[in-house]
Amino acid sequence: MSVMIHRLQQLLTLLAMLHISATAGAQQQALSLEELMTLKSVTAVRMNPAADRIAYLLGVPRSLYKDDDGRPYHELHVVDFNGKTTAYVSGAIDITDFDWAPDGQSILFLAKREKDATFNSLYRIALAGGEAELVFTHVNDISDLRPSPDGKTLAFLANDAPPEKQTELEKKGFKAVVYEESTPRKYVWLLDLANKQAAKQELAGSALDFAWSANGNRYAVALAPTPQIDDGYMLQDIHIVDASSGKIRNQIGSVGKLGRFGFSPDGERIAYIGSVDMHDPSPGRLYVASSSGGERRDLIPDYLGHVDGFAWIDDVSLRWIGARGVWTESATASIIDTQAAGSAPSSGPILRAMHTTNAQAAVAAVADTPQHPREVYLLREGQAAKRLTNSNPILATRKLARQERIRYKARDGLEQEAVLIHPFERKRGGNPLVI
């Protein structure tokens, strides 16, 4: 199925949920199908080291009836805490990952800027502006770029170079995919930004995610025994590696599916989103363990929800976001005193992801509400979430259907929550219910 058709199906589903009429309402005009297809959405955020700006990727759909089929473009923008936004890399480009340089004076990003490029490349653009400069092109596509704390090394994940005769053989018709043998292993690579040389780390397994310690002496990497999908889902674990020697020091011992992870500012602990056991359908518990190995600890025991993200505040406390029912929440947890999560949230923006650096009090977040798609938000302790971007001004002039949280009991007696989308226009004789 083509990307454009897949996106159309997603938007048609949203259209059905919102029950948007094709005709104008009494006060405001409704969104048309074509307008719905043009809505932009923030997909990722990165707080800068000084904690006064947020870089973000903005997903921009391709122009209907004009552009060729394909996934949305992803532009690089920066917003300050007053909501002033500056576009740094925009237009017909798909940026796949990005991060701030440790000095905060530039942003590194991955993209294919040349139409005939086989693989994506690493670029740098100065915060002061100007054209982006090419930094490095690898022998394969790069993902998960992570600058070291001193800014001298860049870690990334990538496969080895494709076999030399692969392209030639494919042209001759040899395109067979051997089940559980054709998937290449993914490695950690350390790029020396001074000499532009990338060194492959020979670790036992296939890499899926990466995080530096604050001093850069160690890094944590999620490794699965093989690059196969089942191993990647069920058997990956966090390994602590000595950055200078490339030797694995120890494993954390996560169980089942694994989410994101990160060192505490002092490097003594690893926090991660993990599973209760091998049967847990998805990672949603917030754990902490010694970075040198040992028992894990659930920081929010008996939480009747799903933890989606976290950020270290200091050496002993973290800020986390989670979902209970149809709403999300943001709170703090301590490794010293375990506290209950409290009452379930009943309002607020729907928090999707968060990011901060150097244990800053300000946290960047991606969030949406029934009134708009995903935007950049700022989170501060004791303050309401603050929206910083407005990527779709047209929504202020369009009428949307009302959404309401409802509760009902399933056949087994468990109470469930759902969102009821009211009819955009009530019709005589009632409106059909779409489930």
Report the pLDDT value the prediction gives residue 169, as an integer from 0 to 100.
72
Checking 381-384 for CB contacts under 8 A at 24+ apart, the result is 381/319, 381/332, 384/348
CB 187 within 8 A of CB 159: yes
Q: Please name the residues in contact with 214: beta carbons below 8 A apart, sequence gap of 6 or more.
A: 149, 263, 265, 266, 267, 358
Cα distances from 7 to residues 131, 241, 321, 401, in angstroms, run 32, 40, 28, 21
CA 59 to the chain's CA centroid: 13
Residue 434: CB atoms within 10 A of its CB come to 10
Name the token pair of 47: 């707080």
Q: What is the rounded end-to-end Cα distance, in angstroms, of the chain?
A: 24
CA 159 to the chain's CA centroid: 21
Q: Name the pTM for this structure.
A: 0.88
| HSE (side-chain half, CA atoms, 13 Å) at 291 | 24
CB 328 within 8 A of CB 322: yes
Digitized pLDDT (tens) for each residue of the chain, 435 residues in all: 444 444 544 444 454 444 444 444 445 788 888 999 999 999 999 999 999 999 999 999 999 889 988 899 999 999 999 999 999 999 999 999 999 999 999 999 999 998 889 999 999 999 998 999 999 999 999 999 999 999 999 999 999 988 776 667 777 777 777 776 778 999 999 999 999 999 999 999 999 999 999 999 999 999 999 999 999 999 999 999 999 999 999 999 999 999 999 999 999 999 999 999 999 999 999 999 999 988 899 999 989 999 999 999 999 999 999 999 899 999 999 999 877 788 888 889 999 999 998 767 899 999 999 999 999 999 998 899 999 999 999 999 998 988 999 999 999 998 889 999 888 888 888 888 877
Report the pLDDT value the prediction gives residue 1, as an integer from 0 to 100.
41
CB 183 within 8 A of CB 154: no
Closest CA to 373 of 357, 355, 389: 389
**CA-CA-CA-CA dihedral for 361, 364, 370, 373, to nearest 10:** 170
